[in-house]
Structure 1
Amino acid sequence: MTHMVYLPFSYAALGQWSGRRRLMRQGVFDEGYALHILLSGVFGKRVLQPFRTFRPSRAEEATLYAYSDLEEGALRAVSEVAAPPDGLEVIDVAGLRAKPMPARFFSAGQRLGFDIRVRPVRRLAQDLPDSQSAKVIRKGSEIDAFRLELLRRSPDGWKDREVAPEAGISRDEVYANWLAERLTGAAEVDLRSCRLASFRRLRVIRGDGRGPEGPDSVLHGECVVEDPAAFAATLANGVGRHRAYGYGMLIVRPPGTAPRSR
């Protein structure tokens, strides 16, 4: 059974811990990468995944939410045995809370609100010329789903703007459709309600070096559950790529309500 986990942590201490572990690359601090390493060391690999962090502006204290197969008591027991002492200086295991999220919580036709942070990218199936840079984007590369749609609609290319009226598409529309594809079979996204709540471009760290720069987006909207078991599995597994690094956690809420401030 999937459990939703709440875990307080110190953002300031995370930065200091990352510095001691030399997890920064060429001046880049990737919060998701650092937490991936830390959580794996405290609870085990993929135990708290997907996850999402919330931090008031410039605050030293932050909150992590995650989905896990382990219940609260089991998570505490694992951390007591395996957690490195310096890791416990970052996360507040005493403040950990968890609640079950079984499939029976959901029913076919149920309408739910959602809040999700995603990295809406696609992997290229073949080389693609990029007229803006006069280079070729190689097969297997990750590319922003919006940028790819612009390139597909115009070989000559358009500037990567929030709205490209010449192409007849917007970033909101492309990202909403991207999400809807990944929920197919589990839930139907109400495309009219889905909106891009925030967007930025962010370079990440993966492995021993800097990873790709790409879109970092938060989507809010509503969906209708189609298959309760598949929907519960989607919550547990996460949506899209980079789920081990702070992306893809689908947080549900009552329909018709705005996400509460965290």
Structure 2
Amino acid sequence: MIKLIDQIGQEHIFENTPKRIVSLVPSQTELLCDLGLEEQIVGVTKFCVHPFYLKEIKEVIGGTKQVHIDKIKALQPDIIIANKEENTFEIFEELKGICPIWVTDIVSLDDNNQMINDFGVLFNRRTDAKKWIDKIKFAQKDFMNFVKDKPVYDVAYFIWRNPFMVAGNNTFINELLKINKFSNIYANREERYPEIIINRIKLDGDPELVFLSSEPYPFKEEHAFEIGRHTHHGKTIFVDGEMFSWYGTRVVKAFEYFKIIHSRL
């Protein structure tokens, strides 16, 4: 018997290790595969792009905000892996009764490591989970040593346009910005992803660096010009959104990617 509490406080009891998994979160799909659970995954979202071939061999059950309930039922899953931010309360309500829904809630690297450890216990992959946690801790320690003498930059991290939206406080993105010694000018907002008025960005904090993420909105050069002309001397940098917002095993690659970002400054 397995008895565990997920990251939103739900208690789950399993008589046996769950064998048929539906994943509603791209980064967690990647994590499950890296833990050696690819065969057990029966359903994924259309945004589950790592490994690249997975959508060709698994049932695609919709997106992260809208899913095909009937498709999920037909897969007869033992467990559905979801996330508090990526998915919606409405989805959780619709899926109730099919099987247990394991919900993660990731804001910090400690949360991330806890998720990996939980999956190790839940799916009997403890050794693989420990290896990945050790890799992440080593990569983090190495990066903290790399960045310790770097200057602090005021930054704004854009995730959307029309309306303009940025990463705020209490987000995984903000956590990774802090580790990079990037001071988020919108970390003082109550909203996690506040809408902003672009012609007020100087008053908001006039960032030295403007990060335009590759996802969820695909920013282009014209958007860099549009935003940049409202800053004083802000440098615009296009960044890989997966590296700043995907948790799980992607974090190991993210630390190496951050070194590249710093080399451009």
TM-score where L is the length of structure 2:
0.27
Q: Which has the higher helix share?
A: 2
Higher relative contact order (CA 8 A, sep 6+): 1
Q: Which has the higher strand share?
A: 1
